[in-house]
Chain A
């Protein structure tokens, strides 16, 4: 497959639930209460429990590895959390090819909430097998 600047990655839509946050808390070992305890989350000024940043990173990682398949390897992956996301709200992962330099491809990726607000911004570099 020919990789060109501007190509969009097939989008990945997630429907996170509070149950999934508990499942992720256990799998990662991050038991910070803002991810499963509504009262605690409100006591620190949040509207309720929120998604783990690293769960959103994992969603965006899947967006990249689904697109890449066995055509290459992931070299760098970074995400910056710009806004909170709550369970029971759709989370849409999107991306595009930002740069192609020989075998090295830079992707711009982001996660959008239901209003189209980009709450997670990120990028990835991959090396395609020659």
Chain B
């Protein structure tokens, strides 16, 4: 078995396995720094988190050290957010991430490794408020 095949096989064993949940409070100061960084002055964000803020609460990708033995760098391929309810300042959010898929695909300059991450965000009332799918690429 080649080294590359074994890295992919090892990563594939993690598909569907939940990582440790991360709990975080949506803090007013954090949201203020986030909207200042993105340059969005909408007063709505004094009470509510903007659409992509969830990625600042908990890492959108799990740290997979062994994936870093493949290629020389990470690329973000894309992100998909699905919203079921608003995220308000003061909410306590629990984020649970998992690897949803791992596969290799030929690119223009050689093979690429695709890792699909999925994160569920649940609020203090137990309501699923959002789900994020992210495509991380090793090149």
Contacts and interface: CB of A to CB of B under 8 A. Distances in A.
The SS class assigned to the B binding surface is: mixed
A31 to B, nearest CB: 11
Contacts of A45: 72-73
A58 B38 contact: yes
Given A20-B37, A65-B44, A53 B79 contact: yes
B48 to A, nearest CB: 10
Given A45-B72, A79-B79, A61 B56 contact: no
A73 B83 contact: yes
Contacts, number: 94
30 contacts: A14-B39, A26-B37, A27-B34, A28-B34, A28-B56, A29-B56, A29-B59, A53-B78, A54-B55, A54-B60, A54-B76, A55-B37, A57-B52, A58-B40, A58-B50, A59-B39, A61-B40, A61-B52, A62-B50, A65-B50, A65-B51, A66-B42, A75-B83, A76-B81, A77-B80, A78-B80, A79-B79, A79-B80, A81-B76, A81-B77
Interface of B: 30, 33-34, 36-40, 42, 44, 50-52, 55-56, 59-60, 72-83, 86
